[in-house]
Amino acid sequence: MNELKDLLRAVADGAVSVDEAALRLKAAPFADLGFAKVDLHRKVRTGSAEVIYGAGKTAAQINGILDAMLENGQKTVLITRLSAETARAVSAVHPIDYRPEARVGILGPIPKPTGLGKIVVATGGTSDIPVAEEAALTAEVEGSAVVRLYDVGVAGLHRLMGHLDVLMNASVVIAIAGMEGALASVIGGLVDCPVIAVPTSVGYGASLNGLSALLSMLNSCASGVSVVNIDNGFGAGFLANRINHMEAKP
Amino acid sequence: MNELKDLLRAVADGAVSVDEAALRLKAAPFADLGFAKVDLHRKVRTGSAEVIYGAGKTAAQINGILDAMLENGQKTVLITRLSAETARAVSAVHPIDYRPEARVGILGPIPKPTGLGKIVVATGGTSDIPVAEEAALTAEVEGSAVVRLYDVGVAGLHRLMGHLDVLMNASVVIAIAGMEGALASVIGGLVDCPVIAVPTSVGYGASLNGLSALLSMLNSCASGVSVVNIDNGFGAGFLANRINHMEAKP
Amino acid sequence: MNELKDLLRAVADGAVSVDEAALRLKAAPFADLGFAKVDLHRKVRTGSAEVIYGAGKTAAQINGILDAMLENGQKTVLITRLSAETARAVSAVHPIDYRPEARVGILGPIPKPTGLGKIVVATGGTSDIPVAEEAALTAEVEGSAVVRLYDVGVAGLHRLMGHLDVLMNASVVIAIAGMEGALASVIGGLVDCPVIAVPTSVGYGASLNGLSALLSMLNSCASGVSVVNIDNGFGAGFLANRINHMEAKP
Amino acid sequence: MNELKDLLRAVADGAVSVDEAALRLKAAPFADLGFAKVDLHRKVRTGSAEVIYGAGKTAAQINGILDAMLENGQKTVLITRLSAETARAVSAVHPIDYRPEARVGILGPIPKPTGLGKIVVATGGTSDIPVAEEAALTAEVEGSAVVRLYDVGVAGLHRLMGHLDVLMNASVVIAIAGMEGALASVIGGLVDCPVIAVPTSVGYGASLNGLSALLSMLNSCASGVSVVNIDNGFGAGFLANRINHMEAKP
Amino acid sequence: MNELKDLLRAVADGAVSVDEAALRLKAAPFADLGFAKVDLHRKVRTGSAEVIYGAGKTAAQINGILDAMLENGQKTVLITRLSAETARAVSAVHPIDYRPEARVGILGPIPKPTGLGKIVVATGGTSDIPVAEEAALTAEVEGSAVVRLYDVGVAGLHRLMGHLDVLMNASVVIAIAGMEGALASVIGGLVDCPVIAVPTSVGYGASLNGLSALLSMLNSCASGVSVVNIDNGFGAGFLANRINHMEAKP
Amino acid sequence: MNELKDLLRAVADGAVSVDEAALRLKAAPFADLGFAKVDLHRKVRTGSAEVIYGAGKTAAQINGILDAMLENGQKTVLITRLSAETARAVSAVHPIDYRPEARVGILGPIPKPTGLGKIVVATGGTSDIPVAEEAALTAEVEGSAVVRLYDVGVAGLHRLMGHLDVLMNASVVIAIAGMEGALASVIGGLVDCPVIAVPTSVGYGASLNGLSALLSMLNSCASGVSVVNIDNGFGAGFLANRINHMEAKP
Amino acid sequence: MNELKDLLRAVADGAVSVDEAALRLKAAPFADLGFAKVDLHRKVRTGSAEVIYGAGKTAAQINGILDAMLENGQKTVLITRLSAETARAVSAVHPIDYRPEARVGILGPIPKPTGLGKIVVATGGTSDIPVAEEAALTAEVEGSAVVRLYDVGVAGLHRLMGHLDVLMNASVVIAIAGMEGALASVIGGLVDCPVIAVPTSVGYGASLNGLSALLSMLNSCASGVSVVNIDNGFGAGFLANRINHMEAKP
Amino acid sequence: MNELKDLLRAVADGAVSVDEAALRLKAAPFADLGFAKVDLHRKVRTGSAEVIYGAGKTAAQINGILDAMLENGQKTVLITRLSAETARAVSAVHPIDYRPEARVGILGPIPKPTGLGKIVVATGGTSDIPVAEEAALTAEVEGSAVVRLYDVGVAGLHRLMGHLDVLMNASVVIAIAGMEGALASVIGGLVDCPVIAVPTSVGYGASLNGLSALLSMLNSCASGVSVVNIDNGFGAGFLANRINHMEAKP
């Protein structure tokens, strides 16, 4: 705002011509981004962790970004889709905590959980665990408490029913499943909190690399269920944490 | 036709044993290429009802086929995919019992149920009932007892659980559902009898006219589940009845 | 039903504590398999409105369900996917408020809004408004304040930018768009509240009846975005209201 | 620009305070919804015609928009996807020239063509003509000369070859075809100007409502070809005219 | 667990009848939510073999599960989707019989076949044999007699016809084919027992990794045919055995 | 046109040999770009019938084309995809023979069949007959003898086997089927002449409007089978007649 | 086998006429179900080469089949989809001529071409040549003369036009192209012989591994075009040779 | 070739005017069917660079083509889809400048940019840069000035807005994005020059290897946008340069 007023004052003063000011203002809403650091800035302000999407980035690039973040006061950084090989190279510079199953690296301390309650991360099978760990670690690094409920697929309903109390006390449930993806509907019918469904590419043949589970989840006849991309554990964990930190807005 | 008659005369004379004749008759449709009536013949012999696929047939055509079947000694005939309008025209000639919801017409008495046990026809919602009725009536006309369990979708699991005893006593379960099709997996995990899954075209958007439910059911992580075409109530009822009449083969 | 009444009497008597009774009621639908009215019960208890999915139901069926709900003390009922014709027939018995654009009928008063803040319902174009109204009315009937922001598609970014303050003050944003569905990503990048994306079947050719928008939204590179089925305004409004009423869980 | 400069002059003159100006400017491109006519303004300035997408709009709505445009000094307006019925109702108020084949209405005179050269609109068959006319009329109303070359599909190559000179003199070619969509590749190989390919939904079976032609055109092995949505004659005509009016930018 | 033991003691004492206990045990997994071993229990009780899905499991994990099963009294265990490498490592601990073509490992003796009759496993080509062997071994390990009928695809109909007697004596037929998947329809038209169709991913180009065969089988115009997932030999063998062991249910 | 006439005069004069003129005429459509009547010319010369694709053409347009053809000496004209309504209007001017099932109109006599042998047109079911009649009439009008073999689907193999002699004597077989499309493979394995497969849009659900049959036929494991578009009876009949008239080329 | 010998002896004796014996032999595979060698027999009789599909077969298996064929009097054998590695191992036993580009091995002499004329094998690009060589070698080994016309894609139409005489003298044309597959339509419009279109998996992105070319070819607006599976050079070559050897059938 | 030389000699002699010769040369490839070098010729004449599609070509082949081009007077040659390995081998003969990110090799100098203005190449993310570099280098080698604007995806709109002046001064914009592809619509709504959209295969799950971005871009609600194949940087760069060199055609 100050920058804008300075310009107008300069016009008022005659220091800047009307034409010149007109030109600069035309571009203003976008060019006056002096406010370009909004992302870093906002994250620091809200206290949540910053995230680096590691796929396709070299260790040098990641280390460069980490340096910049640390300089900006960032305490905890999550690096997703990080290969073991790149993780080793990053570790030579920054002491990240690498979780191979989730392919996630964490720099700095996992914060003490805050928020409205606990996020339950449930999976249909054991093969869905890598996606689930990406979701769980994301939510933890962003500041939520997480309860893991793995291998509770609907084909053995007693496994799910045995943890009904955990589900019913959840603030948010992340339901992760491949193959037929029915877990989201069944959980959606049991709980009254938001359910984030994550289809996984687990399966073969007509699972179509996760497309079947995705379609199934989108068609869920249970209310309160929404869906993210196939294998997108990060997206689910990030959104769950955001919902878990809902506050009144005046 | 002469060859067939010769064979039967030889059986009558004792010149050919019954076993031998049975063996030759089984192979007949292929060895004796003039032998076109095998289908009628077999149905009459096994006592099950004959079926007419009504879609695209005129009332006159259907009545003609009914006449031929009655002459061949057929007692009960099922007509599927029969519009109300055609049903009215057929009724002017043959006193069929028309069920508008299932779009099925029945000529003759529904036989007293036989078979190993009861077939349970379960649906996820009320919109699946037309397909379910086609399945149920097919199984009944073919000679099975049927228990209907409608609107027990997984989004309200208590509805399904409230009928656990019915499901567990079933000889065969037909699980019919549109949208996400999770019903088949949940039931498949609860029972230890064969489950025939029927996806329906109920739903909108990403249900893709039943394709989502179909894919979901094919990916069922429960053992003992197989799938038929979208909305194919007849196919499921026919197969369920066949399984319900399994006998030892020497 | 007796079991439920016994439990409530025990609560009244002080023989069972409220906490204990709450815990048993939560599990009730599964422990007491005869207990079929749980859904009605829960809605009455939580105070939110009941919903009837009107598609494929006759006016007589809807009126019957409305009678039952009123008897159970339900004050407000939302009927979705209700044709104008059926609405007229329902109105002869119950004085519903019918909104033709959203194809929604409302019986009883829309409650005074509660919740953490306002839900913003944004659409890319004017053709998306029917889906948006279904979402908005659902959220309102369920108890949230709603701000409508229609026709702010990304091809004219100034329209969206002109309401940046509205968006940034939202508790939840519902982003509704057909064609290329870019609205969800752009909004997702602007706000830091949960964004529920609703693809619509608006468009032609390669829009594939909403599939393109659906895929686009699932691939959103903005964090905090999740997706519901094509044209599923109800699902989005219901979930947004649920998120808008998040509370601390001990 | 004048409005902006007026404001700045007012600041320079002291007639408007710096704070007041800052507020108005901040909102200007977006927040000043009075400032909704930005689009109109640009069109009037550049001299090109304004366009109304008629699908889903009532005659009353269209007439209202036309009134507003005329008031703003717009001379020619194109209305696309306009049904004959709505066109009749619009005509009662504004004397539009309705072209039923293209489903296009034109208010005001078609401008004298300008631009670098001629736009050739070529179709594979006669069934593609409605899309072609939408493209041709759009380009004409926007200010380009158009040459129509219809029914020159590749299955009868002599038809195309007989107009080689026309094609080779084109400034831009719009190649419109359904079924296998080969026209775009063949023309793309013959000319050295930009080719805009428009797949149409003409065809049956494996044409998949235009998807086959779309895919075919995207895979064109000829350089200089780009593609718009199925049946999007307007988009092609608009872009062709834009290319036909390319000017040096300093 | 105490509840279960109490029940069994009551049965031993005569305090609870066997029928009553059976009924309560069936419902147990849901009434007694701590009861997690139901699956093991049921398998032991029914005498059929236990199955481990080997894909994605380490040799150590598999050996751990095997240990647990043996302790529970399991005599025969089937391990599906087991790589040769993992099989070698498993063999170092448990003496499994590894069948490389089917990628199946078997621990313990294959039981003497029981059931109503023989299961015929038929394939269209030699490339379908791995899937067929998975199906056949599953059915054998579960307790059925199996007849293999390989490379009898419909393009050489005499090969199929040469085994008509085998087909017609089958209790259940598993029809396995890739490419056009016509085998299921042809066999379905020849036999009057249930036919389980298994599409395989054999083929190239428009076979779409088995999708073409899958669609073809779902559209089978023969009655009595149902379908499982692409390459799902285990599912077909398991279901066939279940059908082959149908018994009267009171 | 002058160039063409000059050439023909030169042939008449003996100045240009017949061989030479033939060579130049073949190339004519491209060398002499004004030469637009090549199609008519060729048809007249080769004696085969001319074809009009009736879909989307008015009766007036069709009658205009018919007039032009008759003037050019055309004796027989086939009009495909002709609605009953348009046929009536055409009949008022030209005495066409309209076949409603095939939606085909024929002007002039069906020629006496020539060619190498008979074309067999086989269908899987009775619903495929409209496509079959389009194929059969096309082949007949173009000059081939046709044998119809309807309703010989693979689910009742004896029906096909009963006409093995007819199939084996065919010059070309057109195999027409919807649903699973297995007919093409089975016939392809029985005969040693070319087989043209025509998928039809008959079926429901997973038949995907003919796509399943199309994919199935493309994957046929029988040699000598090729495929045309869904429901393209004309294309199959035209190609079959062309193959049936193969001659030695020096 | 006895039946066959008896028949042949009867022919030798004059007891059965040649015509009669021929008729019975044609039906033999079905009447005499023990008669499994019909395929070999027919090939030997018609003089054409036998084909082995090499994919998935070991060198040992191929050599075994070759041995059997040589014993049966086969002179030339074609092995398709043969890897260089397997070819080397086969060569150690049988002196095959291996063509690495086509991945084809040939045992024995390529026969002197017979048939009605020449088969032209045309490709759109150089990347299509492997498929083209499979087609060309198949046709040559089966007994046809082949003309290769490679890299004549429609994006450079002069390349195709430069060989118009070759195309117009063809007995059959095989049009092979990936990407947009327009070659088939353009050639189909130029020639009046049968055209067999082969889509290839050449391309990227929206080529969808050949699906785009496949769909394009199926939609060809040129008459006389039919299509085989993606990359199915063998199928095209086999069918082209069959058409090139058409003879009158009485 | 003689015809061409004769024509040029006639031009030299003044016997044929330049205009006349130009007209005849344009038509030459078709009139003079032996004239195969037209492509080379045209490129040389227009002064733009020649392009070699490197995929699937050996270094020897590429060097051969380079030799031929240099002999024909070509100064600059672009080689696309060139692997690092092949580039090394080509470099041993011709001193190409290899850009590994874009997988592009350049022989000869990049020409001094000409044309109407600058081409802006914008990408949504850093993973899209390889495709962007292919586009940018193509446009530069063909003779345009290029401005790179990378990583300006819509999820962080300020990044794009910060470069509004660059975008608004562009002659053509190439918008490159994977995932949801919204960049094209947003840019299309901001600029009034032609926008060429390039979907990339960047993403995972529901990105379907670029198909989602492709569909999204085709559905763009912004006017002036057209689309090329997934990852087709070359095609976009080539077309952009062509548009950037538009000239008046008389």
If you count them, how many residues does chain H have? 250
Which chain G residues contact residue D209 at CB under 8 A?
none
Q: Please indicate whether, in this complex, the C-beta atoms of A12 and D12 are within 8 angstroms of each other.
A: yes
Across the interface, which of C38, C56, C201 has its CB nearest the CB of B158?
A: C38
As a whole number of angstroms, the distance between CA C220 and CA C197 comes to: 10
Q: Please indicate whether, in this complex, the C-beta atoms of B26 and E248 are within 8 angstroms of each other.
A: no
Q: Please indicate whether, in this complex, the C-beta atoms of A8 and D25 are within 8 angstroms of each other.
A: yes
Q: Is there contact between D and G if contact means ≥3 C-beta pairs under 8 Å?
A: yes
Interface test with C, best of B204, B209, B216 (most C CBs within 10 A): B204
CA distance C139 to chain D (A): 26
Interface test with D, best of G123, G151, G180, G217 (most D CBs within 10 A): G180
Contact G233, F223 (CB under 8 A): no
Which chain C residues contact residue B206 at CB under 8 A?
210-211, 214, 229-230
Q: Which chains border G (3 or more CB–CB pairs < 8 Å)?
A: D, E, F, H
Q: What is the mean pLDDT of chain A?
A: 85
pLDDT in tens, D144-170: 999 999 999 888 787 787 788 899 889
pLDDT (tens, 9 = 90+) of chain E, 250 residues, equals 344 446 556 666 667 665 555 445 444 433 332 222 234 344 433 446 678 888 878 899 899 889 988 887 788 999 999 999 999 999 999 999 999 999 999 999 999 999 999 999 999 988 899 999 999 999 999 999 999 999 898 887 877 877 888 898 899 999 999 988 899 999 998 888 999 999 999 999 999 999 999 999 999 978 899 999 999 999 999 999 999 999 998 7
Which chain A residues contact residue D12 at CB under 8 A?
11-12, 14, 18
pLDDT, position G19: 55
- CB-side neighbour CA atoms (13 Å) of A71: 6
Q: Please indicate whether, in this complex, the C-beta atoms of C162 and D229 are within 8 angstroms of each other.
A: no
Q: Taking CA atoms, what residue in H is nearest to G127?
A: H56
As a whole number of angstroms, the distance between CA A106 and CA G184 comes to: 56
User: CA C150 from chain center: how many Å?
Assistant: 18
CA distance B190 to chain A (A): 7
Q: Taking CA atoms, what residue in H is nearest to A55?
A: H127
Which tokens in the block code for residue D10?
């007012």
Name every residue whose Cβ is closer than 8 Å to that of residue A53 and which is 6 or more positions away in sequence.
Answer: A80, A81
Amino acid making up residue G68:
A
Percent of chain F topping pLDDT 70: 81
Across the interface, which of H33, H39, H57 has its CB nearest the CB of G162?
A: H33
- The number of C-beta contacts closer than 8 angstroms across G and H is 40
pLDDT in tens, E6-33: 655 666 666 766 555 544 544 443 333 2
pLDDT at A46 over 60: no
pLDDT, position F144: 96
Which chain H residues contact residue C160 at CB under 8 A?
none
Q: Please indicate whether, in this complex, the C-beta atoms of A215 and B220 are within 8 angstroms of each other.
A: no
As a whole number of angstroms, the distance between CA F245 and CA B159 comes to: 68
pLDDT, position C4: 46
Interface test with D, best of A9, A13, A25 (most D CBs within 10 A): A25
pLDDT in tens, H125-163: 888 999 999 999 999 999 999 999 998 988 878 778 778
Helix (H) or strand (E) holding F109, with range, is none
pLDDT, position B201: 95
Interface test with D, best of C204, C208, C216 (most D CBs within 10 A): C204
Interface test with F, best of E154, E167, E230 (most F CBs within 10 A): E154
Q: Taking CA atoms, what residue in F is nearest to G237?
A: F224
Sign (positive/negative) of CA torsion B129, B135, B139, B142? positive
Q: Which chains border H (3 or more CB–CB pairs < 8 Å)?
A: A, C, D, G
As a whole number of angstroms, the distance between CA H88 and CA H105 comes to: 10
CA distance F74 to chain G (A): 19
pLDDT, position F21: 52
Q: Please indicate whether, in this complex, the C-beta atoms of H218 and D214 are within 8 angstroms of each other.
A: yes
Which chain B residues contact residue C30 at CB under 8 A?
157-158, 161
Please calculate the CA angle F69-F71-F77 and round it to the nearest 5 degrees.
Answer: 30
CA distance G161 to chain H (A): 6
Please give the average pLDDT of every successive group of 10 residues along chain G, which has 250 residues: 51 63 44 32 50 87 88 87 96 96 95 95 93 97 95 83 85 94 90 95 92 94 92 97 92
DSSP D101-162: TTTEEEESPPPPPEEEEEEEEEESSGGGHHHHHHHHHHHHHHTEEEEEE-S--GGGHHHHHT
CA distance G99 to chain H (A): 18
User: Cβ of E22: how many Cβ atoms within 10 Å?
Assistant: 12
Interface confidence, given as ipTM, is: 0.84
Which chain B residues contact residue E171 at CB under 8 A?
246, 249
**Structure-model confidence comparison of residues A23 and F166, the more confident one:** F166
pLDDT, position B43: 45
As a whole number of angstroms, the distance between CA H123 and CA C218 comes to: 19
pLDDT at H219 over 70: yes
Which chain A residues contact residue D29 at CB under 8 A?
29
pLDDT at D32 over 70: no
Q: Please indicate whether, in this complex, the C-beta atoms of E226 and B238 are within 8 angstroms of each other.
A: no
Interface test with E, best of B226, B230, B234 (most E CBs within 10 A): B226
Across the interface, which of F30, F56, F199 has its CB nearest the CB of D158?
A: F30
Contact F106, F77 (CB under 8 A): yes
Which chain F residues contact residue G214 at CB under 8 A?
218
Q: Taking CA atoms, what residue in A is nearest to C220?
A: A229
Which chain B residues contact residue E161 at CB under 8 A?
30
pLDDT in tens, A3-18: 667 888 888 888 888 8
Across the interface, which of A33, A56, A211 has its CB nearest the CB of H158?
A: A33
Name every residue whose Cβ is closer than 8 Å to that of residue A248 and which is 6 or more positions away in sequence.
Answer: C116, C117
pTM (whole model) above 0.90: no
Q: Please indicate whether, in this complex, the C-beta atoms of H30 and G158 are within 8 angstroms of each other.
A: yes
Which chain G residues contact residue E161 at CB under 8 A?
29-30, 33
Q: Is there contact between G and H if contact means ≥3 C-beta pairs under 8 Å?
A: yes
Q: Radius of gyration (Cα) for chain F, nearest Å? A: 20
Q: Which chains border F (3 or more CB–CB pairs < 8 Å)?
A: B, D, E, G
As a whole number of angstroms, the distance between CA A133 and CA H71 comes to: 61
Burial classification of residue H18, based on how many CB atoms lie within 10 Å of its CB (0-12 exposed, 13-18 middle, 19 or more buried): exposed
pLDDT, position H6: 60
Across the interface, which of A1, A21, A22 has its CB nearest the CB of D22?
A: A1
Across the interface, which of C153, C155, C206 has its CB nearest the CB of H215?
A: C206
Q: Is there contact between D and E if contact means ≥3 C-beta pairs under 8 Å?
A: no
Burial classification of residue H171, based on how many CB atoms lie within 10 Å of its CB (0-12 exposed, 13-18 middle, 19 or more buried): buried
pLDDT, position A200: 96
Across the interface, which of E29, E199, E230 has its CB nearest the CB of A158?
A: E29
Which chain H residues contact residue D249 at CB under 8 A?
116-118, 169-171
If you count them, how many residues does chain D have? 250
DSSP chain G: -HHHHHHHHHHHHTSS-HHHHHHHHHHHHHHSTT---HHHHHHHHHTPPEEEE-TT--HHHHHHHHHHHHHTT---EEEES--HHHHHHHHTTS--EEETTTTEEEESPPPPPEEEEEEEEEESSGGGHHHHHHHHHHHHHHTEEEEEE-S--GGGHHHHHTTHHHHHT-SEEEEEE-TT-THHHHHHHH-SS-EEEEE-S---GGGGGGHHHHHHHHT--STTEEE--TT-HHHHHHHHHHHHT-----
pLDDT in tens, A138-171: 999 999 999 999 999 888 787 787 788 889 889 9
Of C96-100, D197-201, D226-230, F20-24, give the lowest mean pLDDT range. Answer: F20-24
